[in-house]
Amino acid sequence: MALYLGIRHYLAEARFIPSGSMLPGLQIQDRLLVEKLTYRGRKPRRGEIVVFNSPYAFDPALRSMTSPPPFQCAIANLPLVGLIPGVGNSACDAYIKRVVAVAGDQVVVNPRGEVRVNDVDLDEPYVTNYCNLDKRGMSLCRTLNVTVPEGQVLVLGDNRSNSWDGRYWPGGPFLPEDQIIGRAVWRFWPFNRLGTLGF
């Protein structure tokens, strides 16, 4: 058990996809390997898929709503334990999104969910489900026009029309780098889609 916990804390851990926010590339119930060494040596880069702590753990407008007691998240994140009623907590959940902008970037997200970074349209071939516009060119999706502060990144779901990401967090759109658990690098289930996450 000690060896398992050591590997999980310092090297890598398995995660599954609980929602459709990263469709079509990542399907619900896909199993991924998340490695934790890369960001100890460098900063996150645009296009990388990151797993991070719940916004309820770091967003100032959400944190006061859900404050778990000490060690609850460590216990809830043990295999199968989090499935026990009453053990889990929304602040203990992990999220997965894609980095679209890093510190110093000036980024615009338009009503369709398309991204422009430093006056250049971001090439995102993995995004196929953008937000719909009505006849007036309006959308239910929120827009952004921000500069990413030092020590933070902007993350969005690939499924732009159905992703709770930085566009909607009430305390601000940015993810602190110290809240990133690791980088999703490999899908090991299902076997027919086994492979690295190079998209």
38-71 per-position pLDDT tens digit? 999 999 999 999 999 999 989 998 886 656 655 5
181 in a structural domain: yes
Is 179 a domain residue?
yes
Strands 144-147 and 31-35: unpaired
Catalytic residue check, 19:
no
Does some domain include residue 198? no
Catalytic residue chosen out of the listed positions 54, 97, 139, 163: 97
In a domain, 54, yes or no: yes
How far apart, in whole angstroms, are the C-alpha atoms of residue 140 and residue 134?
9
Look up the CATH number of the domain holding residue 110. Answer: 2.10.109.10
Looking at 21, 54, 139, 163, which residue is catalytic? 21
What total of structural domains would you count in the chain? 1
Domain span at residue 169? 2-192
Condensed to tens digits (0 to 9), the pLDDT of residues 100-130 reads 999 999 999 999 999 999 999 999 999 999 9
- Percent helix / strand / coil, the chain, rounded to 5: 20, 30, 55
Residue 39 tokens, joined: 């960001």
Residue 22 falls inside a structural domain: yes
163 annotated active-site: no
Q: Which is more confident, 84 or 135?
A: 135
Across 182-186, average pLDDT:
97
pLDDT of the residue at 75: 56
What's the pLDDT at 92? 72
The predicted-structure confidence for 94-105, as pLDDT tens digits, reads as follows 999 999 999 999
Q: Is residue 125 part of a domain?
A: yes
The answer to the question of residue 185 being in a domain is: yes
In a domain, 168, yes or no: yes
pLDDT at 83: 47
Strand boundaries in 39-93, DSSP class E: 49-53
